[in-house]
Each structure stands twice: as C-alpha cells, then as structure tokens.
A and B are shown apart, each in its own frame.
Chain A
C-alpha cells in the first residue's frame, strides 16, 4: 500500500486514503491539499473529489488534536473584516471613531453595548461572540506554545533536562529549564516571535533556538561573577584588546577569561539541530550581557569574527531595548541595520579600515600578505586570511590559514561529539 505523498499528482487518486493518525501524516495531507488547491480542479473530477475527501480527513484530525474554542470578540471582528474585505476605517460607523476602532482591535478598549449592537445588526457578527470576554495575552501566548515541539530527546541526551519524552509531561519537564528567560508562556511566545528576526538563511526551529538560548542563560547564571559589568565598557578599544588576544594559540580561552573579568559571560554551547547558529548576544539580564557561541565552524577566523560581532551588538545595542541577537554569520548580506552596524564594528575592531586599505592583503591572496598584516596588528593570521577570503569572495584560497580545528580544542570541557 502506498502512503500519501504530498506534492505527487500522478495517479494520486489511486492512493489509498486512510484516517490521519499522526502529525507527519497530517503534514503530508495538508501539503497535498494545498497542491490540489493550487491546481484548482473542476468540480466532479477525481481530483476535486479527492480534495474534498482529504479536507474532511484533516478537519476530523484537527478537531481531535486542536480542541475548538469559540472566538473572542476581537477574533470575530477581524474574521468578518477579512471576509468582507473591510478596513479599520470601515468600522468607524459602528464604533464611533478611528481611534476607538484601533483601541478595540488592539485589546485596549472593551466593546460597549452600542458597539456590540451595531456590529451584530450591521455586520452579522454573532452576539455570543461579541459578548465573550477577550482572552488575555497570557492565554494567547499559552496556546501558541506547543511544548511537545521542543527537541526534548536532544536536550535529555545533552543532560540539559532530566526525564523521559515519552512518559513525562513536556510542559512540566521544561518549565524549570526556561526559568532564566522566563518560564511563562507569554515570555516564551515573545522569544519565539523574536526569532523571526534572527539573522539566518533558513527558517530556524524556534523551539530549538529557545532551548539553546535558555541553556546559555542558565549556564551564564551559574558562572561566578569575576567582576560586575560596567555599562558602556565595551567599545572599540575594548574590542581591539580582545582581538589582540588572538595572537596566542589559546586565544579563544584567553578571550573567555578576559570577558569574565569584565563581567561578560562567554558561554560555549554547541547548537541544536536545525538552528544553524553561530552565536548570540543575549541581553535579557539588565545587569550584564551574555554571549553564546556554538563554534559550529571550528575555525579561528570564524570564532574571532563571531565573538567580535556579538561584542559589537553589546557595544551598540545593550541597554537600548534589545533583548537578543541571533546570528548565523554565513549570511554575509543583511538588511538589518543592527546587524550591519555590528558587522562594521567587528570588522573595524579586528582590522581597522585604514590598515586594511594600506595592506598588501587587500590586493594579494597570498599567505605572506596575510602574515604581514597580522604581524603588524598583532592578531592571528587566520583573522586576516578570513577577511581576505570574505572580501575576495573566494573561499578556495588560504584554506590552510584559517585555523581549522583550532578553536574547539581550547574548550575541552565541551562534549563536541554531540555536535
């Protein structure tokens, strides 16, 4: 018996259709439905019949899996606006003014009786829906978190949490773990929402990202404070000082110690599956920022650029309303102004513009040119080689110079086998 494969149309009507029982089957059927909808089959054709049948199966599955809930007043109004293609201005006759419409739809103002009457009589919105209490943000957030979608198995393997993904309630298992970033569903939901702005080339798994973030924050809280973080202490001079630590073979470790002495925990934590993350600047704590690096690419050039990039975020954005920056620095071009700023600052701290413009490394692609500038700046040649590769767009050159395999060995306490 063939199983249902999304996206395959040839002879699909011959596939046996069965009741959906798992999420995987559900996803496959939803994909096929959207493909069929795209093809817009004529009524009465086998494809149209199949579309109808599959829709019933999905509806049946979802009614069991996602319990139905009556819409609250705002959802009901928005639903009708969408149906009738109405804009906020079109609701002014029923609510009184444009500002009232806006406030009601944002949940800041409750509906008055006259509003309910007008919306019911003029737009046909059921009075039962309009009379219902709007749900709290907390409720909305709680519903948006699917606790079983966290990478529980991987987290247990890494020793982040203790329990069994099969027998334990995921929410109960995970709630303490998320204490550092806020265990409430509202805070988690906020975190998920913000991952959409992460610098990445592909869709991140927000649950894996949230888990990694919480892990880094948890470990940062365990770090003994060598010193208090002094606001605005991270600046160009500070960053250049960090960059010069690269001269040593154990530079990455020295940088970690240096940052600890300045009240900034640098946490090395391998990334989880489907996050493809290089690092993050985490600013949840008002007392001190935290840097997390995954060392996904075990290369000196990558390490130093990532570290300086995250320090750039701290220099530029800490205490200015930002809570975090997630970075996949394989993504070279970014339109995000904060990312651009951090890129530029990191680049200048590692190799000042005037030095770069004067250096043979700008025009040559040779080992000697990289070493020449590295000696002058007292930084690791891998940093110069990395810049030369990035600027030229040629990643075939200087492959022997970028310090492959020389970062993770500086952190032997990390279990790299899980990465």
Chain B
C-alpha cells in the first residue's frame, strides 16, 4: 500500500552528503510520515552502486521519489537504467520521476523500469506545464508512454519559486485532469533565497516561510482534493551549484513556525576573521532564542546544542546544512500533525515554540479531514 495520509510530507532533497546524513538521522516516527523527493545532482558521484548504497543506508526500504532531471547527460546516457537496476538489486523502492518535456530516451528508460518494478511512477509538473492549456493532452501522452493509469501515478505539482508561480489550489484542481484518480497528489514549492547575499553579514534575520503560509492559506479552503504538502526546505528552489573558490559566510538556517531564522556570519576564509568558530557562537545565540526547539527535538537540534556547548564542532557549512535539513523535516512533519489536530479541535492548544510551552501531544498521525472536505483520503495502493 502506498498512500499519503493528510499530514504526509514530501521534502525535496538534492542528493548531497548533508541532505543524505540529515535524512538518515531522522527518527522512525518522522520517517513514517514523509516520502523524500530525491534529486540527483551532477557534482557528486552518481555511480549506480554508490547511489543505491547511499539510498539504502540513508533511507532504507521505504518508497521515495527519484528524479534525474538535473543530470546533464541523462538523455544520451543510460544512467536511468543503470541506477534503477542498482536500486532494484539493493532492494530499495524508488518511484522514478518523469515529466512532460523529458526526452524520448528518458521516457523509455523510465517506462522500462516501471514495467519491471511494477511500482508505478511519478509525474512532475513544472509551472510552465501547469500553465499550459495542453496539460491534459501531454499528461495523456506520458501515461501512454509509461503504460500506466492515473491510479498508478503520483502527481507532483512543482511550483518551484513561489514568488514566480502561485496558482491557487482551487485553480490547480480544476486544471488537473483525473484529479481524484491519481495515486497521490502533492504540491512542492520553495521560498528560500538563492543565497544569503541579500542579508548583511554579522546579523540575525527572519524570512517568511511563504511556502508553508501559502499551503495553509490555500489548503484550508474547500477543495475537491487537498494536495499533500511538499517543499524545498532551506534550499533555493532552482538548482544551481555554488561558485568555485567561494568564501561562504558562516550561517545557520533554522526553521520556525512560519519563518526561518537566518544567522549570517562573515566569510569563513576572511583574513583575521573568526572563521569556523562563528558556528558555535551563533549556535549559542540560537539555543537561547525562543524558536529553538530543544536538544531532544531532533538530531539537528541536538547537534546545534552540542555545538553551542563546544561538545561538537567547530562546525562547517555541511554540518550546519545537515542539521538544518534534519530539523526542518522534523519540524514540518510535527507542524503538519499539529495543524491537523488543531483544525479539528481534537488537541489542546499548542505553544508555537517548544521553548515557550513544552506541551506534550500524542504524536499519532490521524487521518482527519478538514471540515467541508468531501473527497476520500488518499489511500490508493501501490503494487
């Protein structure tokens, strides 16, 4: 059975070490409430055996989405076939992702894997797909190529940058054919900045989590089908590689209720600068902020707390991204559970921040519909 409950979460993760370790460190409870959407990236070793080993060690044998869209030679290379074979051999359960404008070789490779795996596929729709009046025709074409029915397909509407594309869910539901038939239906969007250059060095800031706010605003109205929440976490929605020989600032990105806390230091390689010691110092400040969830909240929070006490450290961009990603996934999962509990009036009033009101709530994901929702829960099976 492959189904998303109402509080399910689809975090998009670029398959680098920080994200891999952040994912691996999630608790069993959290892992049960998410399905990661993995994007392979060209700057790391994508040897099939390594990808499959990493997936197995970081995520295990639960279903996950896997997209090759960022790999430059995907159309001319047989990497899709080789990786999917390695994953199959490793016993992992990838749901391969395709889209409406992928090349014919790519579509064929996906179709072949889907036929072998009998696990269905995921179709990822970008803003230009969603805005096109040809959407039903293109979807039908891809379904035909894959040899799948909508019931065997997961739809991911990828809004990418919410600042550029923000189609209301009610409109999205109208545009999407076979709305009730898709196995799962998810909207992913991103609101984090490309980098931190818009923030002055040596400061603390908050940035509104527009992706979360948008989902809350548009997901609580009466909809024929409510999409599952997905996001780009603390990364920019459009994939870019950091410039070589850069001097990154020592920064921490920390997810709070409806905003991110951003602590930006100065360049790590600045002459006579404080370098990596900034991480521990900023962690100390973060741990005393009301948004800090406490060291027992997640692996990421424990790492930050250890950093603040000098137990671990001195920290670097990767370890902080790892901690930030792990905290974000945990936080959003928690947030989704609680927001649904609150919406039904079944739970006691919750403090916004664990540092404020450490209210204990039973963490039992429940399938609870918003009042007024008349669609069935997303419980379509996966073979």
Q: Which of B203, B280, B288 contacts A366 (CB 8 A)?
A: B203
Whether A372 contacts B274 by the Cβ 8 Å rule is: no
Residue B233 at the chain A interface, CB threshold 8 Å: no
In the complex, per-residue mask of A26-45: 1 if CB is within 8 Å of any chain B CB, else 0: 00000000000000000000
Give Cα distance in the complex from A111 to B314, angstroms.
Answer: 75
Give Cα distance in the complex from A359 to B204, angstroms.
Answer: 16
Whether B272 contacts A364 by the Cβ 8 Å rule is: no
Residue B202 at the chain A interface, CB threshold 8 Å: yes
Residues of A with C-beta under 8 A to B288: 372
- Chain B CB count within 10 A is highest, among A359, A364, A366, A369, for A364
Q: Which residue of chain A is the closest to B309 with respect to CB atoms?
A: A358
Q: Which residue of chain A is the closest to B200 with respect to CB atoms?
A: A366
Task: Known pairs A363-B281, A365-B266; list 16 more (Cβ under 8 Å).
Answer: A360-B284, A362-B277, A363-B274, A364-B265, A364-B274, A364-B281, A364-B282, A365-B202, A365-B274, A366-B202, A366-B203, A367-B202, A368-B204, A392-B272, A392-B274, A394-B272
- Chain A CB count within 10 A is highest, among B203, B278, B281, for B281
Residue A397 at the chain B interface, CB threshold 8 Å: yes
Residue A321 at the chain B interface, CB threshold 8 Å: no
Residue B285 at the chain A interface, CB threshold 8 Å: yes
Give Cα distance in the complex from A362 to B204, angstroms.
Answer: 17
Residues of B with C-beta under 8 A to A367: 202-203
Q: Which residue of chain A is the closest to B204 with respect to CB atoms?
A: A368
Residues of B with C-beta under 8 A to A397: 202
Say how far B20's CB is from chain A's closest CB, in angstroms: 29
Give Cα distance in the complex from A252 to B363, angstroms.
Answer: 55
Give Cα distance in the complex from A366 to B278, angstroms.
Answer: 10
Residues of B with C-beta under 8 A to A363: 274, 277-278, 280-281
Residues A354-395 near B (CB distance < 8 A): 359-369, 372, 392-394
Give Cα distance in the complex from A49 to B202, angstroms.
Answer: 66
B: which residues have CB within 8 A of A?
Answer: 202-204, 265-266, 272, 274, 277-278, 280-282, 284-285, 288
Q: Which residue of chain A is the closest to B203 with respect to CB atoms?
A: A366
Give Cα distance in the complex from A76 to B285, angstroms.
Answer: 73
Whether A368 contacts B272 by the Cβ 8 Å rule is: no
A: which residues have CB within 8 A of B?
Answer: 359-369, 372, 392-394, 397
Residues of B with C-beta under 8 A to A392: 272, 274
Say how far B254's CB is from chain A's closest CB, in angstroms: 14
Q: Which of A361, A365, A366 contacts B204 (CB 8 A)?
A: A366
Whether A368 contacts B274 by the Cβ 8 Å rule is: no
Give Cα distance in the complex from A367 to B264, angstroms.
Answer: 12
A-B contact pairs, 7 of them (CB 8 A): A363-B281, A364-B278, A365-B202, A365-B274, A366-B202, A366-B204, A369-B281
Give Cα distance in the complex from A393 to B204, angstroms.
Answer: 22
Residues of A with C-beta under 8 A to B281: 359-364, 369
The 9 closest A-B pairs by CB, nearest first: A360-B281, A363-B281, A363-B277, A366-B202, A363-B274, A364-B281, A365-B202, A360-B284, A368-B204
Whether B285 contacts A368 by the Cβ 8 Å rule is: yes
Say how far A363's CB is from chain B's closest CB, in angstroms: 4
Say how far B199's CB is from chain A's closest CB, in angstroms: 11
Say how far B86's CB is from chain A's closest CB, in angstroms: 44
Give Cα distance in the complex from A392 to B278, angstroms.
Answer: 13
Give Cα distance in the complex from A288 to B274, angstroms.
Answer: 44
- Chain A CB count within 10 A is highest, among B265, B274, B277, B285, for B285
Residues of A with C-beta under 8 A to B274: 363-365, 392
Give Cα distance in the complex from A363 to B307, angstroms.
Answer: 13
Q: Which residue of chain B is the closest to A375 with respect to CB atoms?
A: B288
Say how far B27's CB is from chain A's closest CB, in angstroms: 29
Whether B285 contacts A372 by the Cβ 8 Å rule is: yes
Q: Which residue of chain B is the closest to A371 with respect to CB atoms?
A: B285
Residues of A with C-beta under 8 A to B272: 392-394
Residues of B with C-beta under 8 A to A365: 202, 266, 274
Q: A360-B284, A360-B285, A393-B272 are in contact. Are A368 and B278 (CB under 8 A)?
A: no
